[in-house]
Amino acid sequence: MRILIKGLSDERFHRPLVNIANLFEEDSEVMFEPSELDDGLIMEFSWKEENGMVEASGHIDGSDITSRFSRDVPESLNDKERWKQIKNTVLSVYLHLLQEHTGMTQKWGILTGIRPTKLLHKMLREGMSKEDAHAALKRDYLIHDEKINLMQEIVDRQLKAIPDLYDLQQEVSIYIGIPFCPTKCAYCTFPAYAIKGQAGRVGTFLFGLHYEMQKMGAWLKEHGIKVTTVYFGGGTPTSITAEEMDLLYEEMYRSFPDVKHIREVTVEAGRPDTISPDKLEVLNRYNIDRISINPQSYENETLKAIGRHHSVEETIEKYHLSRQYGMNNINMDLIIGLPGEGLKEFQHSLQQTKELKPESLTVHTLSFKRASEMTRNKEKYQVADREEITRMMDEAVSWTKAHQYHPYYLYRQKNILGNLENVGYSLDGQESLYNIIIMEEVQTIIGIGCGAASKFIDPRSGKITQYANPKDPKSYNDRYEQYTEEKIQFLESLFISHV
């Protein structure tokens, strides 16, 4: 879609205008006056603020599609809040024009770039009643009731799973990134390097990782800062050998403070082809019982097409094996909209899930991330259309409800098929605490290892500073000491200097 916007020269409008256009059609081209456009939509806007109100209107040239919105702008608002009211009013006009033009409805309204549940948590923490918060989401962002109810259900679940969710700022969680996988999947943009033939590099990487764990652990111990959750991700952390895993968990127990206090340790065992009895034994020995085994699909053809290099049968076999070895909190990921898949295939995946009954189920919607093989060769991969994707998502919603899985976190991504969301579901009391903490950004997460992103959250102001370790093992191996030191500096500035 190509759009020329007239009448909105303030650059603060531009990014959200592009983001909203992309909800209707990815990679939309949005231009602003002056520009020559010989085809596409020309939209004209005007807005004014007077007598404590902002009024905005717009129309599409050459059509009878018009729209008008107004909102209060009380004098008590500060500049930032005032601008937000103005911007949301203009964006509401814009969304309405695009909906009329395309016939598509955006159930998330004009909300882009903000985590939906984080927004609702914020409103409730500021003392708004649920009713007022819901009314504001509807009025200010044009979010539909269905999504508001989903947000509320998730917020309630999260507070049930972590009653002290708003008081975790003085603790941290730790993410440990292990950047190796048996092979690289076609849709993947994670730091994941095929492990075969990399023995030397893996060894050096693990040396650096142990170093980071020791240094971070020592710093946390010294300052009496506790760890709430630990998450081993990647890559696939079970790609390394059982001996290497053993040494790593031993290091965790030795270096991290008060390990018994840690509420949850998760290890992604995403690729079933990495799971073996000796590795499960190691997990068991260290009391790690929350793992993720990710089928993604229960169609062998699909798995082959996306480069997973394991079969459906292997997923099922490894699932049962994990149960035998005492894994009693297993998550499984499914992806809606994989190439060649429609409602029928997705129903089959849900049927299989019913038989296995994992404690939690994460339903992703395929997203074409820029760096993936799938995006680079998009024409090779046929994916379902928007209506079918929506039907699959609806199926996920009704199926999970019927089988006692409750939604407990959600996030949206750019370029996600059908502008849908990724939702984590779990049986009662089996929510992943780490997932809640990272989604709602309630405490500092220290990322160690390859591709690990740290989020430093100022316990006083809530200000977030991101810090990313490099994605490739070579760069990490060259400079892990420096990355460790820089992160410790951050921690010092947040937790120590202001005490």
Q: Give residues in contact with ligand SF4 (CB under 6 A).
A: 181, 184-185, 188, 190, 192, 234-236, 270-271
Classified as helix, coil or strand, 381 is: coil
CB of 188 to ligand SF4, least distance (A): 3
Cβ proximity to ligand SF4, 43 vs 293, nearer residue: 293
Cβ proximity to ligand SF4, 210 vs 308, nearer residue: 308
DSSP per-residue codes, 80-111? HHHHHHHHHHHHHHHHHHHHHHH----TTTT-
Cβ proximity to ligand SF4, 184 vs 226, nearer residue: 184
Contact criterion met (CB below 8 Å) for 366 and 417? yes
CB of 90 to ligand SF4, least distance (A): 39
Paired residues of 176 in beta bridges: 232, 448
Contact criterion met (CB below 8 Å) for 81 and 136? no
Terminal-to-terminal C-alpha distance of the chain: 53
For 315-403, where are the E strands, in sequence order? 329-336, 360-365
Cβ proximity to ligand SF4, 181 vs 457, nearer residue: 181
Cβ proximity to ligand SF4, 236 vs 302, nearer residue: 236
CB of 295 to ligand SF4, least distance (A): 12
Q: How many CB atoms are located within 10 Å of the residue 384 CB?
A: 23
Choose among 210, 25, 190: nearest CA to 104: 25
Cβ proximity to ligand SF4, 270 vs 424, nearer residue: 270
Cβ proximity to ligand SF4, 111 vs 269, nearer residue: 269
Report phi then psi at 420, rounded to 5: -95, -165
CB of 294 to ligand SF4, least distance (A): 7
Cβ proximity to ligand SF4, 232 vs 495, nearer residue: 232
Calculate the dihedral angle through the C-alpha atoms of 196, 275, 300, 381, rounding to the nearest 10 degrees. -50
CB of 137 to ligand SF4, least distance (A): 33
For CA atoms 448, 450, 452, 454, give the dihedral sign. positive
Cβ proximity to ligand SF4, 160 vs 309, nearer residue: 309
CB of 425 to ligand SF4, least distance (A): 20
- Helical residues (DSSP H) of 236-385, grouped into ranges: 242-255, 277-285, 300-305, 312-324, 343-356, 373-376
Q: What Å distances lie between residue 159 and 119, 267, 330, 485, CA to CA?
A: 15, 23, 21, 35
CB of 305 to ligand SF4, least distance (A): 13
* DSSP at 66: E
The angle, 0 to 180 degrees and rounded to 10, between the axes of the packed helices 14-24 and 79-102 is: 30
Residues 6+ away with beta carbon under 8 Å from 351: none
Taking the mean position of all CA atoms in its chain, how far away is CA 14? 24
The angle, 0 to 180 degrees and rounded to 10, between the axes of the packed helices 199-222 and 473-491 is: 0
| Spatial separation of the C-alpha atoms in residues 478 and 29, rounded to whole Å | 41
| Spatial separation of the C-alpha atoms in residues 127 and 250, rounded to whole Å | 44
CB of 193 to ligand SF4, least distance (A): 9
Cβ proximity to ligand SF4, 158 vs 236, nearer residue: 236
Classified as helix, coil or strand, 34 is: coil
Cβ proximity to ligand SF4, 96 vs 308, nearer residue: 308
CB of 190 to ligand SF4, least distance (A): 4
CB of 266 to ligand SF4, least distance (A): 15
CB of 234 to ligand SF4, least distance (A): 6
